[in-house]
Amino acid sequence: MRPKRIAIFTGGGDCSGLNAVIRAVAKKAMGEGYEVIGIEDGYEGLVKNKYRKLENSDVSGILALGGTILGTSNTANPYRYAVQAKDCKFVFKDYSKTAIRNFKRLKADALVAIGGDGTLSTAYRLYEDGIPIVGVPKTIDNDILGTDITFGFDTAVWVATEGIDRIHTTAQSHHRVMIVEVMGRTAGWIALHSGVAGGGDIILIPEIPYDINSVVKKIKERHGKGKRFSIIVISEGAKPKGGDVVVKRMVRESFESIRLGGVSFVLGAQIEKMSCIETRAVVMGHLQRGGSPTPFDRVLATQLGTRAMDFVNEGAFGHMVAVRNNEFVKVTLRDVAKGKRLVPRNHPLVESARSVGTSFGE
């Protein structure tokens, strides 16, 4: 009889904690007699048949390592695979049959997909087409439906909060308005948590469109009380009432073709013009994705990885490991693929922030 075998890959944008999940899945699997195959560069590895066998030595010492030892890609959806033409433009082809065929050639009993909403939505389609998949929720944005938390989020919040703390001193010294722009796409979880943790005076998130007049009014009120500086934490997807998001660039070959960024500079120019107060903007950007994961993310990633192997052993394919009310539960990939988990306007943390005087620009 052939040995039991699983395959594992990381897809979408990178974040801290990916290696911790790989380690947890692989070590538990190896301890139970499985061979472990690492698919390289996300779905691109399935399409181009790039993989390698993982040994215990490959996954030892990587718990605190940022990034992913397997590589990743957010432009390799096998159902809409981008192929570059001679004129540097892209055409899209369906390589799903190729990906499925390559997976079957591995003779693997299961595929563990570690990724965000885009990766897991594609995983659901592959599951429907016959691949035995288990999902693990990964994203700094914390916007995956069906789970209260994703690994990578805590580290991103920690990095953003440290940035806000450092901005405070220069804001106070120069009596400026300082705007800190964080990631999150259409979800405001990073801005909300880091803004509260960093003592932001104004927090602007996509779920609550802001009024520029309200923002300027809050800044002037603070100045009128002798507080000669203000800290604004803004999500990259925040937008004014009746307005739209600021688009940095378009990446047509990606699952998320719109790349957001730069809203802090637009807002800063408006504030300076309307208030006559010097305003500066700082974009945290990819700093939030890199580096060693926090202890919380290391623990969460380890638990998610081992639970994913439990799902494999149970034959619970087509499901994602989720956290609900501090318990690990099964959520169908079909439900995960239905949309994004956004910040409710009446979320308890929003209410707590309002109660201590934080403005959301309403």
Domains of the chain: 5-151+293-336 (3.40.50.450), 156-289 (3.40.50.460)
Q: What is the DSSP letter of 176?
A: -
Q: Residue 351 — pLDDT band, cuts 50, 70, 90?
A: very high
pLDDT of 250 reads 57
**Confidence class for position 256, pLDDT limits 50, 70, 90:** low
pLDDT at 1: 63
pLDDT at 34: 96
Residue with tokens 């990633």: 301
Report the pLDDT averaged over residues 298-327: 97
Average pLDDT over residues 26-33: 96
Residues 86-104 have a mean pLDDT of 89
Catalytic, out of 41, 117, 141, 297: 141
Active site residue 129: no
pLDDT at position 21: 98
Instruction: Give whole-number Cα distances, 188 to 151, 179, 208, 237, in Å.
Output: 16, 15, 9, 8
Residue type at 328?
F
Place 238 in a pLDDT band, splitting at 50, 70 and 90.
Answer: very high
Would strands 110-115 and 133-137 be described as parallel, antiparallel, or unpaired? Answer: parallel
**Size of the chain in residues:** 362
Comparing 77-86, 171-180, 301-310, 328-337, the range with the smallest average pLDDT is 77-86
Which has more confidence, 191 or 249? 191
pLDDT exceeds 90 at position 92: no
At residue 174, the pLDDT reads 84
SS percent in the chain: helix, strand, coil, step 5:
40, 20, 40
Mean pLDDT, residues 176-198: 95
